[in-house]
Amino acid sequence: AGAVANHAGELIFTTVTMDRAEIQLVMLRQWFGSLKAAACHALLIGVDTATCAVARNASLPCFVDGLAPKLRGKQNHFGPQVLMKWWYALTLLEQEHHLIFSDCDIAWLADPFAGWDRSFDLQGLSDVYSANLTLSAHHEITCNRGWMDGMYEHGRRTIYPCQSTGLWFIRDRLASRAFLKGLYGYLSVRSNEWEQKAFQLIVMRFLVGIGDEMPPLRYRLLPHSRFVNIEMYEQRQASGLNTSETKAVHCGYLNTVGDKLYHLDRNGFLEHGLQAHHRMAAAIEGRLPDASGARTTSLSLKRKDRTFVQVMV
């Protein structure tokens, strides 16, 4: 981590398993390429040796996890990388690093370290299903959709702050460490509980300080104008809202690979990321980029509406 972090001790990381290697590699190549120069400060943590072998074969640097306690059960049917990311976040924070966590289905449109408001301990992507949060009607929370968490009791009050756990920035501070210890401790004994539900519950407990010993966690949702889910990005464009300052676009609320790649492709993000990674890989290997470019394979993928989309990867 020390070799990856920038001069300020900051790094961006993601965790991955190769349960669907072909698709995962497309996502990772797009993600890594979209980071551009910031990719040298990216730490990709694979759940096992086999995962990293596949990643490295595709010119993606990968650190093999051999430290994190193994997951007992699954996070709402997701794999071990889900709980692993919180363990690594806490461990890296305790090594005095400042962190950005990013799912690999995020397209970065600007340097993630530039413009980081470092006055906040913790900031995360809003999962409020709205292109604009200026009206009270837009604050309807949609986090507890049925497909998101089958264990949640939907009849009860909605959960704030409705943050995605796919993108967050955290500084190494006392309240930040306390929060991560609390969240990881909670999840480690409830390994079948959805981590995003647990996050909403635990983060609220640390917003109030305790005397002089524990300051309150300084926390916010990231602004929609710069960090947004991809369908909301498209709605912002269609509504004439400014998208020129957008730094990161997440494939949130899309639960099929076909839908994720469809939206990444239609907005040009897939092409941008894959071509950038193609050039990076060629430079690392000391060769010229292939004349055929980065996208040489056609995938036929099913979407949620049961139609199929053809995507070049």
pLDDT tens for residues 110-145?
A: 999 999 999 999 999 998 877 776 554 555 555 555
Residue 155 pLDDT more than 60? Answer: no
For range 167-181, the mean pLDDT: 98
pLDDT value, residue 157: 44
The mean pLDDT value for 264-280 works out to 95
The tens digit of pLDDT for each residue in 212-248 reads 999 999 999 999 899 999 999 999 999 999 999 999 9
pLDDT of residue 70: 74
The closest alpha carbon to 127, from 237, 200, 195, 229, belongs to 229
Cβ contact 107:272 at 8 Å: yes
pLDDT at 295: 79
User: Pairing state of beta strands 106-108 and 248-250?
Assistant: antiparallel
Indicate the burial class of 303 (C-beta count within 10 angstroms; 0-12, 13-18, 19 or more): middle
Q: Is the pLDDT of residue 154 over 50?
A: no
- Token pair 């072909």 is found at 22
Quickly state the pLDDT bin for 160 (edges 50, 70, 90): confident
Which pLDDT does position 156 carry in this prediction? 45
pLDDT at 34 over 80: yes
Question: Hey, where are the domains in the chain?
Answer: 10-312
Burial per residue of 179-195, b for 16 or more beta-carbon CB atoms within 10 angstroms, e otherwise: bbebbbebbeeebebbb
Give the pTM. 0.91
How large a percentage of the chain has pLDDT more than 90?
63
Residue type, 156: R
Position 159 scores a pLDDT of 58
150 pLDDT more than 60: no
Residue 153 has pLDDT above 50, yes or no: no
Q: 10-312 in CATH: which number?
A: 3.90.550.10
Where residue 69 falls among pLDDT bands split at 50, 70, 90? confident
Question: Residue 284, Cβ neighbours under 10 Å: how many?
Answer: 10
Question: What are the CA-CA distances from residue 19 to residues 13, 44, 49, 77, 308 (Å)?
Answer: 19, 16, 13, 12, 21
